[in-house]
A and B are shown apart, each in its own frame.
Chain A
Amino acid sequence: MPDFTHVLIASHGTPGAQAAEQSALAWCRTGGRLSHLVVVPDLWSGMMGDDWLNNASTRDTYGKYVEGELQREIDLHVERLRAQTAAAGITYEYKVMFGKPTACLLEYERERTPDLVVIGTPRPKGQLGLRSRMHPERLGGELMAPLLVIPYPR
């Protein structure tokens, strides 16, 4: 298996993303660097919907609660990957970005210039999760580094 010095992984903790993380770890050489991108999809900006009845304090409580929930989930995810990279002797860094997943990945790749980009495949039908996905076709055309798409674990 060829190994890379600097691998970029975009993942968000789902089974498909975790499979991609394992591949990224396997493809990154010991002493190398893993740059981890966590995207908070911009669909969350519409998650107060058309609420109009609540007063400001209720909306504020809700906003802080949702932010806290997302942060907690990201923290758990990051800590898990940090432990795995430490065990493999890989330097770990992560970045949380808000926006469209594909656009965020392209921006982060330009910023970090990795040797390899790893993502999971879109979730198969029937699997639960947020409907927000990467577009491999666009990534293939615009990424500078090779793109590795890991199949969903069966």
Chain B
Amino acid sequence: MVYTQRTPWTLIMGVIMVAYAYLVQSGTLAAFIKYLGTGRHVGEMVALGYIFGGIAIVIGLWQLLAKTAEGHVDYYLSTVGGVIFIMLIAFVVKWVLDPQMAQWGRAARPALGFNFASVMNLNYVVMGIIAGIVTVNVFKVPSWAENGVRLSRLGLKTGVILLGTLYSFAELQQLGKLSVVLIGVFVLGSVGLVLWWGARRNLPNSMTGVLSAGVGVCGVSAAVAAAPVVQAKSTEIAYTIGTILLFGVICMFVFPIAGKALGMGYITFGAWAGTGILNSAQVAGAALAFQPEGIETLKVAEIFNITRVLFLPIIVIWLAIWYVKREVGAQKVDVGQVLISKFPVFVIGFILLFLLSSTGIFAPARHYQGSYFDNSDKVMIKKDRAGKEINNYLKDADLDLLKKDAAKVKRDDQKAALQRLIENKKLMSIEDDDTLRGVVNAKILSKEGNAVLVKAHRAVRHTAPKIAKFRDLIAWFFTFGLVGLGMQITLASIKQAGGQPLVVGSVVGVIKAVGSLIVVMVFVHETI
């Protein structure tokens, strides 16, 4: 079979991308960029526009003019149109819709009393997923783009693998422990609850089995893995997947709004989203929606996602044994075969990159793990491009604000860290920085006092330019993946949500979301 379709669209999209990059580079769009406030993205607009546009033009011409023959090359090249299609949507969303929505949000604030774009987290991640959902449901994914759209899964997996370079041993160890405990309790708990409740309501074992996997472990992926094992009927699969998709899309919007309203930090929100959101694809979406300009929340949430997927083979074996005990004639399962076939190979890639980066092979190890700490005079007093001195030490006015608020701090370690900051006009250690981040997150000081602490934090935390670019690359992989996954959420499948799976799934999903929120708020701290 020949997969490549003779279409002009790849070429047209390539020309649009290259033309846009050229217009940005030549300054023709300077006024437009200034209006949108996207000056910081000019570099990536030019680079990505030329790279993807160039590839699309070459492949587009080949698709139009060359004679195609069956084979691997034909298949791989047939994916380019879809990849470019997703990237074009992502470009429009990130460089135009996102800043425009932010402006509309600010403009509507006096009338509405709140910034709707900020409150509803209408940033490029959320809008990218919505754009994907709208594309598939309103316009339909063009047939020449279908193979490329399927590659979005690979985009997400690649993003997770690359993310492996950004963890320290301590982070991975602590987040790993936390995620095993939380996921262990809530995954096993919700699977058990669905199995118990399903039996009480006399639901068929096949329906209870597939629903428990979907609600308990990682949503649609778990339902896909478990359905053949518990011999689910077609309608049971449709009800379950419809319910999970409906719940997942709602969670992707509700979780970041709730997280911000509750003043959650990156770690607490990442832990909550990673545990409480039913569907794993929406975990990444919610994490990036919560923190679109950084990946600290995503780092936490993805550890939880990885832990979930490592639980998946265990849950499938559990369900298989459970089903065989209840159904006469059910096929016995080969435990070894399930463990091997369901093992997520991309997790090995994640671990390998983590180990490699830990050796310092790519860059100094301290550069990888979030922002590195440096409070030396070299970074505290710098010169800008015009040669003007920038002094990042706290000013007397800042210190007065902190002294005025100091009495509000009750904990001894926080008092001591604040005192050292006031005495030295800068943060003196990573520990002090972490301790005072807790004060910021808990909003103990006045708004102005908090702003001073944030200023002190920014003065000593730095991101290596190489790592900043690497993070941008990871964010693009996730954006690509999430827009593409949005194109696989059809309203026709969501509409199938119903019957007992909707009742049981919704109740258990809410219990899991609220239960994990309470546990995270009570037991998880904002520092690792």
Contact = CB atoms under 8 A, between A and B. Distances in A.
A53 B218 contact: yes
Nearest to B244: A49
Nearest to B309: A53
Interface stretch (B35-43, B339-347, B457-465): B339-347
A61 B485 contact: no
A43 B225 contact: no
26 contacts: A41-B492, A43-B492, A43-B496, A46-B493, A47-B238, A49-B245, A49-B488, A49-B493, A50-B220, A50-B282, A52-B157, A52-B280, A53-B221, A53-B280, A53-B309, A54-B221, A54-B225, A58-B341, A58-B342, A59-B224, A62-B225, A66-B234, A70-B234, A73-B234, A131-B495, A131-B496
Given A47-B241, A51-B224, A54-B221, A128 B499 contact: yes
B220 A48 contact: yes
Contacts of A59: 224
B281 interface: yes
Interface string B356-397: 000000000000000000000000000000000000000000
B322 to A, nearest CB: 18
B345 A55 contact: yes
A47 B228 contact: no
Contacts of B221: 51-54
B58 to A, nearest CB: 28
Interface string A10-52: 0000000000000000000000000000000111111111111
Looking at chain B's contact residues, the main secondary structure is helix
Contacts of B225: 54, 58, 62
B344 A130 contact: no
A61 B280 CA distance: 20
B228 A49 contact: no
A129 interface: yes
Given A50-B282, A69-B237, 14 more contacts: A41-B492, A46-B493, A49-B224, A52-B485, A53-B305, A53-B312, A54-B221, A54-B225, A55-B345, A57-B341, A58-B342, A128-B499, A129-B235, A130-B238
B523 to A, nearest CB: 27
A132 B343 CA distance: 35
A51 B233 CA distance: 19
Which of A50, A57, A58, A73 has the largest count of B CB atoms less than 10 A from its CB?
A50
B492 A46 contact: yes
A61 B334 CA distance: 15
A96 to B, nearest CB: 14
B194 interface: no
Contacts of B345: 55
B132 to A, nearest CB: 9
A64 to B, nearest CB: 8
B499 A49 contact: no
Contact of A43 (B309, B481, B489, B490): B490
B498 interface: yes
B227 interface: yes
B492 A49 contact: no
User: What 6 pairs between A and B have smallest CB-CB spacing?
Assistant: A46-B490, A43-B492, A49-B220, A65-B228, A46-B493, A53-B221
A58 B341 CA distance: 7
A53 B344 contact: yes
B237 A47 contact: yes
Given A51-B224, A52-B481, A46 B237 contact: no
A92 B168 CA distance: 69
A66 to B, nearest CB: 7
Given A42-B492, A131-B496, A52 B153 contact: yes
A54 B281 CA distance: 12
B190 interface: no
A42 B493 CA distance: 9
A132 B280 contact: no
B156 interface: yes
A66 B237 contact: yes
A96 B237 CA distance: 21
Q: Could you say which of A46, A65, A70 has the most chain B C-beta atoms within 10 Å of its C-beta? A: A46
A54 B234 contact: no
Given A50-B489, A52-B481, A62 B228 contact: yes
Nearest to B154: A52
B390 to A, nearest CB: 44
B241 A49 contact: yes
